[in-house]
Amino acid sequence: MSTSSARIWLLHAAVLLALLLAQPLLPEYHYVNVARILVLACYAVGYNVLLGYTGLMSLGHAMFFALGMYGAGLPVYYHGVGALPALALGVAASALGAALFGLIALRTRGVAFLIVTMMFGQAFHLTLLHFNVYTLGDQGFILSETIRTLDVAGAAFDLADSRVKYNAALGVFSVCLLASLLLVRSPVGRVLVAIRENEDRTRLLGYNTYLARLLALTVSGTIAGAAGATYALLFSYVGASFASILHSIYPLLWTLLGGAGTTLGPLLGTGLMFYLEIYARDLTTAYLVVVGAVLLVLVLWAPRGILGTLRDRKARWLP
């Protein structure tokens, strides 16, 4: 293993270890917040695979998040399925959904892709509301009455316990983060970056760029779905509002803020934006104005995000 490679794995291990060891230091309020941030950061990590490393901007990712959420939530609600099988079902639903969606949507790219993803995302949101009888999308539903424990290898953990929430969230986040790191540093990951930079050239190097983009979208959607499923199980709520366009814009914003095309950017961006929004809510009911303002500032003055700028200036080795 080369030194830069060792440094990269060490950095990621250190971040995850810090999150693990920080638990006793966090006050209860922040403890739950960070657990929520970790799950949402997972969503951003998935989004980043597509935007940051493949160069495809989507405005329909809430669809994959919601597929994971409903794929896990409905079986629990209607059939009393356990937490782990529900997670697996949610991940499978989003993986399948992303792959099928990709077969259609990846005929387009650029702005056309953006619009197609937005249309499908909106259609999916409306579908959830239309079949309200089954999805209860309108008012949402809670899972805490049907599922109270997370059963792993014979042991039962109380899902209402914030320590369980935090560590489960950290576990899922670690898997997603390391999977994304492994992907972007692999030969396939380098092909994705090549597509982002110059797709025509990549094709003439002998790569089937359509299949590569399909892989990126499927991985991206699956990680988003894993986040959705985890969110439903840990925070007990499933509702169609998570499929709305606002929830497609959030991961875009988090990723851009932290740095698109950096593995740790999504975590940083999600954390910062989460707290910024909380403080903005205290100041004004029109807190979405703050969200919009951040987006504007980013696009105009810091298109590479925090870690992207840091990489340009100081640390070129950052993955």
Rounded to whole angstroms, the Cα distance separating 249 from 62 reads 8
Buried b (16+ CB within 10 A) or exposed e, 194-220: bbbeebeebeeeebebeebbbbbbbbb
What minimum distance in Å lies between the beta carbon of 215 and other proteins? 9
**Is the CB of residue 105 less than 8 Å from the CB of residue 113?**
yes
Min dist CB 109 to other proteins, Å, is 16
Residues that bind other proteins (CB under 8 A): 2, 182, 186-188, 190-191, 193-194, 197-198, 200-209
**DSSP type of residue 245:** T
Size (the chain), residues: 319
Shorter beta-carbon distance to other proteins: residue 80 or 303? 303
Residue 232 CA neighbour count, 13 Å, CB half: 38
Q: Identify which of residues 56 and 74 has a Cβ nearer to other proteins in the complex.
A: 56
CA atoms of 295 and 280, how far apart (whole Å): 15
What is residue 263's DSSP assignment? S
- For residues 76 and 194, which CB has a smaller minimum distance to other proteins in the complex? 194
Minimum CB–partner distance for residue 103 and other proteins (Å): 17
Minimum CB distance to other proteins, residue 213 (Å): 13
Alpha helices in 131-245 (DSSP H): 132-135, 162-185, 187-197, 199-204, 209-235
Helix (H) or strand (E) holding 237: strand 237-238
Question: Between 53 and 166, whose beta carbon lies closer to other proteins?
Answer: 53
Pick the closer one to other proteins by CB: 144 or 208: 208
Q: Which is nearer to other proteins, 2 or 139 (CB)?
A: 2
Rounded to the nearest whole angstrom, what is the least distance from the CB of residue 200 to other proteins in the complex?
7
> Please, what is the minimum distance in Å from the beta carbon of residue 173 to other proteins?
21
Dihedral angle computed from the Cα positions of residues 60, 188, 193 and 191, in that order, rounded to the nearest 10 degrees: -120
For the CB of residue 194, give the shortest distance to other proteins in the complex, in Å.
Answer: 5
> In terms of CB distance, is 241 or 309 closer to other proteins?
309
Closest CA to 129 of 277, 242, 40, 229: 242
